[in-house]
Amino acid sequence: MATASVSDSREKELWRRLGEVNDPELDEPITEMGFVERAEVKSDGSVEVDFRLPTYWCSPNFAFLMLDGVRRALDRLSWSPAYGVKLHDHMFADEVNRGIQAGKTFGDIFAELAADTDLGAVRETFRMKAFKRRQEAVLRGLR
């Protein structure tokens, strides 16, 4: 009984953490958008996450931002599990999967393909757009 309770608790925490990761462009949780196909806590406490974006050609920087968000969410789990995150059916799935698993940055993964590999400005741009969108919704609600 206690094992089932721990397992259920971990499963809930896993999905809660994944729900904190947003699509950078739409500012919606990746869990609500259906991008997380599977998130499982294994019997040894390790975690596996399968991730799929709506298109094969989704921008690699967006794919990386979301998967890096998943990696950060998994790092915040209370039991500090070993984990695997796998992007499926994407034009750069192999590169991103290897990079995420190795803890690499976008620049490490795509240095040969992209002139500007620092995603800090992209993150900030989308963070501000999301903030403004939420502010607009609040202001419209006050009318």
Q: What does the pLDDT read at residue 116?
A: 67
DSSP per-residue codes, 61-114: HHHHHHHHHHHHHHHTSTT---EEEEEES-TTHHHHHHHHHTT--HHHHHTTT-
Tell me the whole-structure pTM to 2 decimals: 0.85
Q: Indicate if the pLDDT at residue 12 is higher than 90.
A: yes
Report d(CA 93, CA 105) in Å as an integer. 15
Model pLDDT for residues 13-62, shown as the tens digit of each residue? 999 999 999 999 889 999 999 999 999 999 999 999 999 999 999 999 99
Confidence of residue 113 (pLDDT cuts 50, 70, 90): confident
Looking at residue 115, what DSSP letter applies? S
CATH (domain of 23): 3.30.300.130
The count of domains in the chain is 1
Q: Which amino acid is at 133?
A: R
Under a CB-based contact definition with an 8 Å cutoff, are residues 33 and 18 in contact? no
110: which 2 tokens?
């795509």
Domain span at residue 105 reads 2-141
Q: By the 8 A CB rule, do 67 and 87 touch?
A: yes
Task: Supply angle C-alpha 135, 126, 31, rounded to 5.
Answer: 90
Cα dihedral across residues 53, 54, 57, 62: positive or negative: negative
pLDDT tens digits, residue range 61-105?
Answer: 999 999 999 999 999 999 999 999 999 999 999 999 999 999 999
